[in-house]
Amino acid sequence: MGGVEGGMKCVKFLLFFFNFIFWLCGLALVVVGILGQVALHNTIEIKNVSASGAPIVIIGVGVVIFLIAFFGCCGAWKENYCMVTTFAVLLSLIIIVEIGAAIAGYIFRGKISSVVQDSLVEMISKYNSTEHFRDSVDKLQKDLKCCGVNSSADWKNYRPDRESVPDSCCVNFTKGCGDGALKDPSKLFKEGCHDAVEANLKKNIQWVIVAALIIAFLQIMGIVFACLLMRGIRSGYEVM
């Protein structure tokens, strides 16, 4: 009996530990989702509904994971069969939802190129619409060292002379450096923002995939430990 009690005590603390890590992951997802939302709307001004919805989904999943993990920690600590059972069921449902989200994300991944293209074309056409929008575009071009959608030629209608680009396109940025710069492309960033933004988004998606795999592992381990603890509690063994 002592071995069983010791084993169940170990399971209890492992479940509590994994839930604490899981709780931190939920908090991290909320932070990542908020940062992603800010980046999408303040940096590249993407208006596509599916792109805008992605950070909101991440925030939502983060909040749910945060709450479920907290619930699991309490259930494990108090050895409450009902709470641990509810935790295991909710965690299983979350895994099912995440599988659906992963499929949707994989489908959306193939649409990144067209979403970025449409958004950047709109970005150039509305460059002078507001100061905030103009500052966002300038920041994008400076940070990613890019110019236009596919090349600096996309800015040919920027001014009536059809030979100027925004100063943020210049390799060596100075006020007025974009005036007449289309005559001398060597002064401008050669890469278009489409390729730069797409590469940046895909790199970030790789990190999201890694994070998702870690969270999935924690979820599966959480369910295993929850089931073991439920079995122990139901059998009437004292964990402490």
**Residue 170 forms beta bridges with which residues?**
188
In this structure, are residues 178 and 170 in contact, taking their beta carbons and an 8 Å threshold?
A: yes
Indicate if the alpha-carbon torsion angle 100, 106, 112, 115 is positive or negative.
Answer: negative
In this structure, are residues 137 and 143 in contact, taking their beta carbons and an 8 Å threshold?
A: no
Minimal CA–CA distance to 178: which of 226, 142, 136, 202?
142
Q: Please report, to the nearest 10 degrees, the dihedral formed by the alpha carbons of residues 86, 87, 88, 94 taken in order.
A: 110
The residues near 233 (Cβ < 8 Å, ≥ 6 apart) are: 79, 81, 84, 239
Residue ranges of alpha helices (H) inside 43-80 are 49-78
pLDDT tens-digit readout, 167-179: 999 999 999 899 9
| Confidence check: pLDDT of 160 > 70 | yes
The residues near 200 (Cβ < 8 Å, ≥ 6 apart) are: 144
The residues near 215 (Cβ < 8 Å, ≥ 6 apart) are: 22, 25, 29, 65, 98
pLDDT tens-digit readout, 17-71: 777 777 787 787 778 777 766 665 554 545 544 455 566 777 777 788 777 777 7
CATH class of 127-194: mainly alpha
pLDDT tens-digit readout, 63-101: 887 777 777 777 777 777 777 788 788 888 878 877 777
Which amino acid makes up residue 7?
G
Average pLDDT, the chain: 77
Q: Longest Cα pair distance anywhere in the chain, in angstroms?
A: 89
| Confidence check: pLDDT of 234 > 50 | yes
Give the residue carrying structure tokens 């603390």: 13
Comparison of pLDDT for 206 and 238, the residue scoring more: 206
